[in-house]
């Protein structure tokens, strides 16, 4: 699956996207954040407060307990400042 990062999350990770292949035990968005943090010190720091990070699956905003099975694109980003 493809992961997208936006704003300061993208900057701190020094990448806007990456392809990952998490194991089957990674079931929810929360699980995915924990797995991404465990495999990368930059992600460990950038995502240290998961509660302030928002997520979208296939361009729909989701809560962190949403299953990721079947997802093609998962995006992570800080609170939005549009308008």
Partner 1 sequence: MGVRIQEAAFDPGAELNAFSELSEGAGAVVTFTGLVRSDPGDPVSALMLECYPELALNQIGAIVAEARVRFGLLDETVIHRYGTLQPGEPIVQVMTLAPHREAAFAGAEFLMDYLKTDAPFWKKEATAQGKRWVEHRDADDKAKDRWR
Residue 50: what are its φ and ψ, rounded to 5°?
-60, -25
Q: Per CB under 8 A, does 75 bind partner 1? A: yes
Q: How far is the CB of 23 from partner 1 (least distance, A)?
A: 27
Q: Is 63 left (phi over 0), alpha (psi -120 to 50) or beta?
A: beta
In the bound state with partner 1, the residue whose beta carbon lies nearer, of 26 and 76, is 76
**One symbol per residue from 51 to 70: x for binding partner 1 (CB under 8 A), - otherwise; what is it?**
-----x--xxx---------
Is residue 82 involved in binding partner 1 (CB under 8 A)? Answer: yes
DSSP string, 18-37: EE----TT--BHHHHHHHHH
Alpha carbon dihedral 41, 56, 20, 9, in 10-degree steps, equals: -30
State yes or no: residue 81 binds partner 1 (CB under 8 A): yes
Q: Residues in the site for partner 1, rule: CB under 8 A?
A: 4, 6-8, 10, 56, 59-61, 75, 77-83
């Amino acid at each position: 699956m493809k992961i997208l990062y936006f704003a300061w999350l993208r900057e701190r990770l020094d990448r806007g996207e990456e392809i990952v292949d998490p194991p089957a035990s990674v079931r929810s968005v929360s699980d995915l954040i924990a797995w991404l943090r465990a495999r990368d010190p930059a992600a460990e720091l950038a995502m240290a407060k998961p509660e302030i990070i928002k997520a979208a699956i296939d361009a729909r905003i989701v809560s962190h307990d949403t299953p990721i099975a079947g997802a093609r694109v998962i995006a992570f980003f800080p609170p939005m400042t549009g308008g």
